[in-house]
Structures are given as structure tokens and as C-alpha cells.
Structure 1
Amino acid sequence: MSIVIRPGEPEYDALRSGFNLAVEHRPELIVDATCAADVVAAVRLASDRGVPVGVLNTGHGPSVPADGAVLIRTGRMSTVDVDPARRVARVEGGASWRAVIEAAAPHGLAPLNGTSPHVGAVGYTLGGGVGLLARRFGFAADHVRWFDVVTADGAHRRVSAEENPDLFWAMRGGGGNFGVVTAMEIDLFAVPGVLGGELCFGPEVFEDVLHGYARWAAEVPDTMASSVLLLDYPDDPAMPPELRGRHITHVRLAYSGDNRAEGHRLVERLRRLGPRVVDTVRELPYTEIGSIHHEPVDVPVPAFDRNIMLRDFDQDAAATLAKHAGPGAPYLVELRAWGGALSRPAAVPNAIGRRDAAFSLLAISDPDVANRTRRDALLTAMRPYATGATFPNFSGVEDTSPDAVSLAYHPDDFARLRRIKAATDPDNVFRINFNVPPEGR
């Protein structure tokens, strides 16, 4: 049975917040749902009151404040059921990727999860989903069999290629604009483990590593996932001594192919770029996939994310990135390799149309305005190498306007999303998100 929490009640402050504190939510009501019937009741309650609906699980990707809304917490809806014969999993709306990974691993199977297993599986998938198996198998949204979703009229619907196909197209990549997902069925893949970890280089070889990575990434197979994280570590005694007070270039790797000798050869090429201050690349069971990026999970933070997609990352682009993201840069930068299956159309078409990127570039600042300005200067400098697109999963609270959201889609696809929105949610009840406004509004 759901719990309804109002402002001033003991659990209100804890349940209105997620991991990313860049947005503060002050909803009219919080519904801590336990089942689909609770979600139906919450959506109907919002409709009766004439207020919007927000959805919060882990809160890693906030968008706009849920002020005055009915905020549905889905975290208690976390059951995962695996069918190893069909290689699929039924995932409830509040399950984290960690739960899916642990349910699939005993069968030698893996989902297309993100780099942090602590992120909610549904929200990630609705935005598209690009993780460490994506170059080999595609977007997470490409491999959804069906959704069970509560739409704006309070109905609980099965949405698939056979049932409600237009809505199925829109939900896979269109974010949380079309309803509250109570469960989904997704494909699983025979990947029991990876050759993975990170190679960390000190500031002395920072530029050499960037240029070497640019050459290396252009040649590797689809079975090799990689990214580069550039980060200045504080001069804090709590930091490991090899990182403390230094600018570190993290090259994160996950080779999922069967030819492990090939994987080791590819890693050795990167090791030759310079001495490593940390080297954790090893054979990993898939249950340890989160150790590769080892993203923070314990202490909520305010993070201001912005991203652009790059056509390529050549030597000129590497030099430009080095100029703006080297020692002293007051923001985190991630360059992630795309291509492979991410550049190919889905077997069942969906709203992810911008498949022409070779890399994504994500820059994350703290709330300081000066630091955010410098972050934006980096992205401006990299625009000559960009496609003009963004990716929804990597967007932040500063890019919630319709014009900003539209950059993630082909113009024709964005227009189609707006038409489907008008047909399913004409009053824009689901607008506490990276909103696609209904056509005509």
C-alpha cells in the first residue's frame, strides 16, 4: 500500500530529494508507490487536482522542480524477474541496474545498463541509454520488448510494437513525457564478464594520452567500450596519494568480446602511452561492471551537466580539448566513444534518431557561476567538431527549454513526438522532465 506524504511530515524532506541536488523539489504531495495500482491512483489524483505529475527514483538526472506537483516515488517497486530461456528480464519501475545485473548474472546474462549500477533502470532506458555494452549491442531503448505504463488519463496500458506502436516509438528515447512506467521487459545478452578497468595517467603525459587515445579509438572493434575522464583532484589528505592535488586522465575500458587476446593487445597499446599512476584493468565478472567508472553513490551532490555530440575526435579536437580541460579546469569532463551499434538503426524504430555521433562530450560543473561559464567556454570551443545534437541522458538542469530538448532529436522526429504527446497527454501533465510540449502548445 502506498504512503502519501505532505509538506511538513517527517519523511517529506528525505523523499523529495534524489542523488543530484541541482534541483530542489517542493511537491504538493509525495506518493511512495508500491505497485501499479498506487501509480494509477496517484495520476488520477493529480488529474483531479489539476496539477502535474513528477516521477523520482534515484534522482540522478533531475530536470525541473516538481513544485506543486504530485511526485511519485517508484523505488519500492523494484522486483526483477529473469527468463533465461528467452534472455529477457521483467523490470519494475523502481529497480536499479544493480538489481537487474545481480538477477541476470547467475545465468551468464547481462543487461544494457549504464556505467553506474545505482541508477534507475527505467529512467535511463526512456532517455536512450548508452553503457559499456552499447557499441556492441546498441542503445538500451533499442532492446525493450514492452512497457506497462500509466498514461495521463489514468489508464494502465501495455505498450509494445503490437499494442500502441506510436507510443512505443515515442517512449524509447522520448524520456518520461508519456506516462509513468510500472514495468518493462528488456533483452539480456550473453556477457558473463569483461576485460575492464581504468588506466590513470598523471599531468605530465596528459596531452600525449589524449592524442594517443584519439588514434587508438579510431581503430578498435565494437566490442571495446572506452571513455576518458579528465579531473583535477583536490589537495585533500583523504585522497589517495597518487591522485591528491593532481590532474588525472582516466581512460576507462570494457572489452566484452570473446577474443580476450585481442582485448589485451588493445589495452597494451594504451599502456605504452606513458606511466600509469593507477592501473586496474583486469578480468571482471559482470557483477563488478560498476567498478570501472566507480561513480560516487554515497553523498548527494549538486551537479550541472551539459553535453554535445562530436562527429569525430581527431588530433585537432584533442588539442582543443587539452587547451580547455587540462590542469586547473574547474569542472569534470568525459569524452565517450560511440559508433558501432550506436550508429545503426534499431530493429524496431524508435525516437533515437541522432545516431551520427562518434563521441559524446559531457562537462559537469559545481553550482559556481564562474565555473559554469568556463564549462560553457569549453563546449563552445569544441563545437567545430560537433554534430549539433545533444543526448537526453547527459542533459542537465540548464537545458530544459523546448529548444534545448529538441536538439536531441531530428526535427521531424521532434514534431512527431509533439503530435504523440498531444494525443496522449494534451494537458502536459507529464512535464516535470526534459519536456516535449504537446503540438499546439
Structure 2
Amino acid sequence: MTDYLTKTDAGYDTERSGYNLSVEHRPEVVVPATSVDDVIDAVRYAAEHGLGVAVQATGHGPSRSADGQVLITTSRLDGITIDPEARTARIEAGVRGGALVRAAFEHGLAPLNGSSPEVGAVSYHLGGGLGILGRGLGWAVDHVRAIEIVTADASLRRVTATSDPDLFWALRGGGKGIFGVVTALEIDLHPITRLYGGGMHFAADTAALALRTWAEWTRTVPETMSSSVLLIRMPDLPFLPDHLRGRYVLHLRFAYTGSAEEGKLLVEPFRELGPVSDTVAEMPYSSVGTIHAEPTTPVAFYARNTMLESLDVAAVAELLRHAGPAADAPYLVELRHTGGALGRPGAVPSALGRRDGQYVLYAGAAASPEQVPALQAAFDRLFTGMRPWSTGGVCVNFLSGPDITAAELATGYLPGDFDRLTAIKKAVDPQDMFRTHHGRA
């Protein structure tokens, strides 16, 4: 096995830490894998010593601690191979979304990436992959062709729909890091090189009108238009411009694959509302990460989500009551428009079978341990208030943090699929070596 780190070694703390610090890992051993052989050796070592195995790429979505286990970090496995004729990519376990976007762009292609360039591309795909282009092209998981995985017997397997249909079904959407260590994926790429996209900020006095307008607008836009809304009180930081610094804003984000002329017409209703900033324009697809411009500094972050069947006038009013300019909510709220191709089954069935709902409602905040009880109580009030519009399910891709329950996780799946996942897990990993589930990438 490659050089591994224990609690007394320099570099142990750095290696075990990820982006989301809400779950603090204290593994028995940390293995900074630089090859598939390192992963195989680490799994074999864990089996010989009776230890569990956890996996971490970027650490965006831990939900259970890897205390006392072998933690394999895969960030150094960052190889990308593009086949421009087949329109595919082979990506290793540590590849980040932004690196994949840039590599594909050089060949006039694009992956179904998420909003953050820093999220691990492999774990993002395996969790479902709610992407920037999702309404037009579906979930990223539906565009996975093959999976390379080291299983509990320390063997490397290449899993496809024909070689092992049950495991291929389970790995795509069924929980990252619980069937083995995925070391690489083969995925589809798409002939997309540009977007009409960007964001608009609206001040507190126009936020409610902008949200109502967006809710109505989403009912008729084409599937080639994806959009989302962020409700947030911006931090009072000196590098922020005056119109954002310390202020409540609504950030409306667009990604349209049609022409710029059509895009301008589609977003015109929002320009008429007078945004305080407007970056929506023609852009190369390589700049897609600037649309959401999500933070990259590690924090202890807590979040919750649900899928909404609709977003009518009453739903907007209820949401604003909890998270509007006057609410002083201790969290940010994001709404992502789903539907379209995201609501249809993939060509090859996957564990991500539940695809109802037209929006994802997501709330999250950075918090210190003493702030968590009050934050959770505020989450309770928000999601109880929005329950009349909820499908009763969650977006599995957005689950993270230490408070996820099995019952909550099960609502992200169709009836019977959770039981099927459990059966496949027992067959592939009968000793439950891979016991640390990660909700996001």
C-alpha cells in the first residue's frame, strides 16, 4: 500500500478534511491514493484488519463520520481521456467538474456538469447529477456508460448494463461509496460549445416580484432553458460590491442552449424589473461555472431539501414568509427548476427512478456547533410550511450533513427500489465494509 497517514503523522489533518466540515473524520488510516493499485491495497488492508472503508474525493457531502476506518482520498486520481469521435470521456475518481468542462471544451463538447466547478465529477454523476443542462438532457447518471470499481474482495471490476445489470443499476443513483470504491467512469459528452447564460441580482424591494415572475415564467419556458433562484443575505465582506455587500438579494441564474436572440427575449421580463446587476450574455461553455459562482472556502455546512410539485402564488408567499427580505432567515434558500428531461426515465434504468416534482427547494447555512439547534429548528419551520407543495421526496444528489436519516433517504427512491438496493448491497458487500454513505460529491 502507498504511504498512509495515521493520527500522529504530518499531513493527516489536511488529508482527512474536505469542503464540508460539518462531519469531522478521525479515520484510523488515511490513504492518499495515487493509483488504482493503491485503492486495491487499501481495501485489502482494511479487510485484513477488520476495518471499514470510506471514500472522499472533494468532501462536499459527507453524512457519516469515517472514525476508526480506512479513509481513501481520491483527489490525486485526476486523469481525463476524451474520445471526440465517440463523444465520451473517461474520468478518474478525483476529477473535478471544472477540469472536465475545460477538457471537453477543447474538443467542442460538454459534460452534464453541475453548478460548482469544485465538486467531484464522479461522485456527482453517481449521486444523480442535477446539472446546468438537465432540463434539456436529463440527469447526468443517465449518461454513464461504464463504471470501474474496486469491490470488497479487493478486485477491480468494469461494470456496464450488460456485464452486471443489477450493480450498474444500483451504482447509478443508489448511494456513493457503499458498494465499493469507484475509480473511474465512462460518460457521454454533448456537442455544446456556448450558452446564453449568467445571472441577475435583484434588491430586497424587488425580490418578491422577481420570485413571483420567475415562478410563473417557469411554467412555459422551453426545456432548453434551465434556471434557478437564490435567496440570500450576502455577507458584509469588503471584496463585495456595494449593491451586494451585507444586503438581502435574489440571484436569478439562467443557462439557455438556444440562440442568444431567443435567450434575450426569454429573459426580457426580468430585465424590465430593474436588476441591480446583470451578467446574462452569450458565453463559451467553458465559463459555465461563473453562472452560480459558488463559494470554495471549506466550512461546516448544514442543508435540507425537498422536491416541490408546484410553485403557485400561495407557495411563493409562504416561502417569502420564511426566507424573504423581512424574515431574517439564518439560511440561504435555492430553488432549481426541474421537469423537462429530468422528469423522464433514462434510456437505461437506474436507482434514480423517482423523478417527480418541478422544483428542488434547498436550504443551507454555515453554522458553528452551538448554532446548529436553532438552525435545524428554522429548517423545520420552513419545510413544514412548504409541505403542502412538496412531493414528499428529496433530491438525493443534494443530501449532505450528519442529520440524514434512512427514512429521509428512502423518500428519494421509488417504492421497492430501496429494498432492491439493500439486497444488492448485501450481495456485493456482505460484511458491510463500505459503511460510510456520502450524500453529495
Which interval holds the TM-score relative to the shorter structure?
Answer: over 0.9
Q: What are the Cα deviations for residues 118-159 of structure 1, in whole angstroms up to 9, with x where unaligned? A: 111111111100011111111110000000000112111010
Q: Partner of 2:379 in structure 1?
A: 375
Is 1:396 the counterpart of 2:362? The answer is no
Contact 2:234–2:248 under 8 Å retained in 1: yes
User: In the alignment, is the contact (CA less than 8 A) between 1:230 and 1:334 conserved in 2?
Assistant: yes
Task: Give the SS at the match of 1:184.
Answer: strand
The reply to whether residue 288 of structure 1 matches residue 290 of structure 2 is no
Q: Which residue of 2 aligns with 1:203?
A: 204
Deviates more, 1:259-268 or 1:415-424: 259-268
The SS at the match of 1:390 is coil
**Other structure's SS at 1:307 match:** strand
| The one of 304, 316, 319 aligned to 2:317 | 319
Q: What is the RMSD computed on CA atoms of the aligned residues?
A: 1.2
Q: How far off its partner does 1:434 sit?
A: 4.7
User: What TM-score, normalized by structure 1, do the two folds share?
Assistant: 0.96
Provide the C-alpha distance between the structure 2 equivalents of 1:141 and 1:21, rounded to a whole number of angstroms: 26
| 8 Å Cα contact 1:129-1:140 kept in structure 2 | yes
SS in 1 for 2:130: coil
Question: Alpha carbons of 1:230 and 1:206: their partners in 2 closer, same or farther (altered >3 Å)?
Answer: same
Residues of 2 paired with 1:235 and 1:147: CA distance? 44
Q: TM-score scaled to structure 2, two decimals?
A: 0.96
Q: Runs of 5+ in structure 2 lacking a partner?
A: none
Give the corresponding residue for 2:435: 431
Query: Partner residue of 2:231?
Result: 230
Question: Equivalent residue for 2:334?
Answer: 334
- Equivalent residue letter for 2:64: V
Q: Which runs of 5+ in 1 are unaligned?
A: 436-441
The separation in 2 between residues aligned to 1:236 and 1:31, in whole angstroms, is 37
Q: CA deviation at 1:375?
A: 2.2
Residues 98 and 3 of structure 1, relative CA distance in 2, 3 Å threshold: farther
**Any conservation in 2 of the 1:27–1:71 contact (CA below 8 Å)?**
yes
CA distance in 2, matches of 1:99, 1:191: 16
Q: Deviations over 1:383-417 (max 9, x none)?
A: 11000111122112244332222111112111110
Closer/same/farther in 2, CA of residues 384 and 398 from structure 1, 3 Å limit? farther
**Which residue matches 2:366?**
366
- Percent identical residues: 50
For 1:218, the aligned partner's letter is R
Q: Which runs of 4+ in 1 moved over 4 A?
A: none
- Letter matched to residue 278 of structure 1: S
Paired with 1:230 and 1:175, the residues of 2 have a C-alpha distance of 29
Query: Structure 2 residue aligned with 1:305, among 303, 308, 325?
Result: 303
Deviations 1:241-283 (A, max 9, x none): 10122110000110012x33221111112222x2211111011
Q: How far did residue 219 of structure 1 move?
A: 0.7
Aligned match of 2:164: 164
User: 1:210, CA displacement in angstroms?
Assistant: 1.1
Residue of structure 2 equivalent to 1:124: 124
Matched, 1:24 2:24: yes
Deviation at 1:101, TM superposition (A): 1.0
Distance 2:160 2:169 in 1: 8
Residues of 1 paired with 2:73 and 2:235: CA distance? Answer: 35
Give the aligned partner of residue 439 of structure 1: none
CA contact (8 A) 2:337 2:359 kept: yes
Give the secondary structure class of the aligned counterpart of 1:166: helix
CA contact (8 A) 1:44 1:153 kept: yes
Equivalent pairs, count: 432
